[in-house]
Amino acid sequence: MRAGFLTCVQLGLACMEAIYEVGGELTLAFTLHDHLAVNKSGRVWIDSFCEQHALPMIKLHHVNDGELVAAISREKLDWLFVIGWSQIAGAEVLATPRKGVLGMHPTLLPQGRGRASIPWAILKGLSQSGVTLFKLDDGVDTGAIVAQEIVPIAADETATTLYERIISSHVSLMRSSWPKLVNGSVGLTPQDESIASVWPGRSPEDAVILPAMTLTEIDRLVRAVTHPYPGAYWDGPLGRIVVWAGSMHEIDGAIPIPARDGTYWATQVLRKDNPS
């Protein structure tokens, strides 16, 4: 099997490493041009990995660059993985690999299409989420499912802990799926549109703690947008602060935040104007 991999973040690099850990290898790698990395959150360089494995690498400005399409055709790639890349692949890119383009999404598709998957899973109080390996089509997270892995969500789950386990599930799903892609035994299951849902993107304004919120709503918000996200915000006597963690039960030394049905106690905070 001849496969290419397009990524510019740690999650994608971890999946590339997983392929080689199970004895696989890639034909070609693609990543973002260095000068475009300045404003790219979470950017990592895959240069060392490619050098270590003698893997040819091409740097791009955009996923729909003609250079990408030409390289896929020239190398006769069967599959192209696009993981950890925010740009949307166009029709020509999707049609050029002989078998298609594969992506991963951090929910159990068709539920949770869209953005902010980890925060929404906590905000909605879900008991489980997961990771889906799927074939990209012209929709957003709508393509046929290749494989999925369930990730349980604890009652006190935070974005930090869920993010780490979601990454681990990406890696394990890649490890288990790679041999099936190689021997052609992988199946493609159409998504069930009757149970599909779309989770919208979130902005900093969505993370503001309001007095009208219940204790449960504040607690979920704080846990949902803590590290690696920007955190929840509260405008109180000390000015605007970032709330990284807290409790619905009184804790000595914690900062009290009024809620509709009681008091939330912030245990880890940061003045917004003091990032240190």
Summarised one tens digit per residue, pLDDT across range 99-158 is 999 999 999 999 999 999 999 999 999 999 999 999 999 999 999 999 999 999 999 999
Residue tagged 């905000």 (tokens): 123
Average pLDDT over residues 199-204: 92
Does residue 248 share a domain with residue 210? yes
Give the domain range for residue 128: 3-198
Looking at 178, 198, 218, which one is the last position of a domain?
198
Q: Residue 276 domain-assigned?
A: no
Q: Which of 67, 60, 52, 55 is nearest to 28 (CA)?
A: 55
Band (pLDDT 50/70/90 cuts) for residue 275 is very low
Residue tagged 């949770």 (tokens): 112
φ, ψ of residue 213 to 5 degrees: the values are -75, 150
Does residue 241 share a domain with residue 209? yes
What is the number of structural domains in the chain?
A: 2
Does residue 178 share a domain with residue 244? no
Q: Which pLDDT score is estimated for 41?
A: 55
pTM to 2 decimal places: 0.91
Full strand arrangement of the beta sheet holding 28-32: 57-60, 28-32, 3-6, 79-82, 100-105, 128-135, 145-152
Average pLDDT over residues 2-30: 95
